[in-house]
A and B are shown apart, each in its own frame.
Chain A
């Protein structure tokens, strides 16, 4: 079967247990001060966009999940991995 190219977007989000001073500062010193106090929660993280070849969407997700686990792309003590989007190129 011919492989296809996929774009996968992932986020590495800080877990709720550890304090997230970046998000706290954005919420407290920017949003709230500029009138956006409707925002009740902010969490910061990192974003990666990968392009890879795979047989199908499910395979692409599995490859990326395994790669991120094997190489500790996220620190499992403090971060969660989320696949936020998969799209065929």
Chain B
């Protein structure tokens, strides 16, 4: 059984090669970098939409890429339960393609924020978090200007267990100083109701090797290891 993962490359992506590197060389899974117009879902068991500035963030971050044929292909994967991860700009694309609900607005500070933050695991049953434990606190960097999560239907998100991560202090408390962009309820990442599609602003691919982490942590790896195990379970 060979597992194949696609990392979609949109014009303006800049974290695509980081994701490919981690999947191939850290997690050790067969991974292809695929140009967005060439992506065919039938060849892949899972897909990553990486970070960057697809189509220059014109009109609204993620909206142009959301109309790419790659998203029509990914929609088939969404429906048949294969894992889909959107990181940063990838999260913005998943929101604009309506794979995930809500909106990502300009940071409350109006500044681009690039730093290591802590996120607390709220839902440990998704395709990308089932090897984590609820209430675990992960160290992961962020780098974005438009990451302020907003929804007009928070109740539904909570009732459906769609909040996956919240920004927190290192000891797991939700405080405004630990919320880097003013997200509603400190939300850092969410999933669809079926839990096979996750989007988050932090960058797990930048937190998967101890040499890159100020605290020598490798919490980002757990996202990708969870995905591989999720795929293995689906295939057996």
Q: Mark A22-34, 1 if CB is under 8 A from B, else 0.
A: 1001000000000
Q: Which of B103-111, B122-130, B131-139 contacts A (4 or more CB under 8 A)?
A: B103-111
A18 engages B150 (CB within 8 Å)? yes
Most buried by A among B110, B150, B151: B150
Contact A21 B67, CB 8 Å, known A72-B96, A75-B96, A78-B105 = no
Q: Mark A41-62, 1 if CB is under 8 A from B, else 0.
A: 0000010000000000000000
Chain A residue with Cβ nearest B96: A72
Q: Mark A64-88, 1 if CB is under 8 A from B, else 0.
A: 0000000111010110000000000
The CA of A73 and the CA of B64, in the complex, are separated in Å by 9
Quote the shortest CB–CB distance from B158 to chain A (angstroms): 16
Residues of chain A within 8 A (CB-CB) of B151 are 77
Interface size on A (CB < 8 Å)?
A: 13
Quote the shortest CB–CB distance from A53 to chain B (angstroms): 23
Residues of chain B within 8 A (CB-CB) of A25 are 110
Tell me whether B88 is interfacial, beta carbon within 8 Å.
no
Chain A residue with Cβ nearest B108: A21
Tell me whether A89 is interfacial, beta carbon within 8 Å.
no
Q: For B66, give its contact among A21, A72, A77 (CB under 8 Å).
A: A72
Tell me whether A17 is interfacial, beta carbon within 8 Å.
yes
A19 engages B110 (CB within 8 Å)? no
A18 engages B103 (CB within 8 Å)? yes
The CA of A17 and the CA of B105, in the complex, are separated in Å by 13
Interface size on B (CB < 8 Å)?
A: 20
Tell me whether B81 is interfacial, beta carbon within 8 Å.
no
B110 engages A77 (CB within 8 Å)? no
Binding site for A on B (CB under 8 A): 59-60, 63, 66-67, 96, 98, 101-103, 105-110, 150-152, 182
A-B contact pairs, 17 of them (CB 8 A): A18-B103, A18-B105, A18-B150, A19-B105, A21-B108, A21-B110, A22-B106, A46-B59, A71-B67, A72-B63, A73-B63, A75-B60, A77-B151, A77-B152, A78-B105, A78-B150, A78-B152
Known: A18-B150, A77-B101. 18 other contacts (CB 8 A): A18-B103, A19-B182, A21-B109, A21-B110, A22-B106, A25-B110, A46-B59, A71-B67, A72-B66, A72-B96, A75-B63, A75-B103, A77-B102, A77-B103, A77-B150, A77-B151, A77-B152, A78-B105
Binding site for B on A (CB under 8 A): 17-19, 21-22, 25, 46, 71-73, 75, 77-78
Please name the 9 residue pairs, one residue from A and one from B, whose CB atoms are nearest each other, closest first: A78-B103, A77-B103, A18-B150, A75-B103, A21-B108, A21-B110, A77-B152, A77-B102, A78-B150
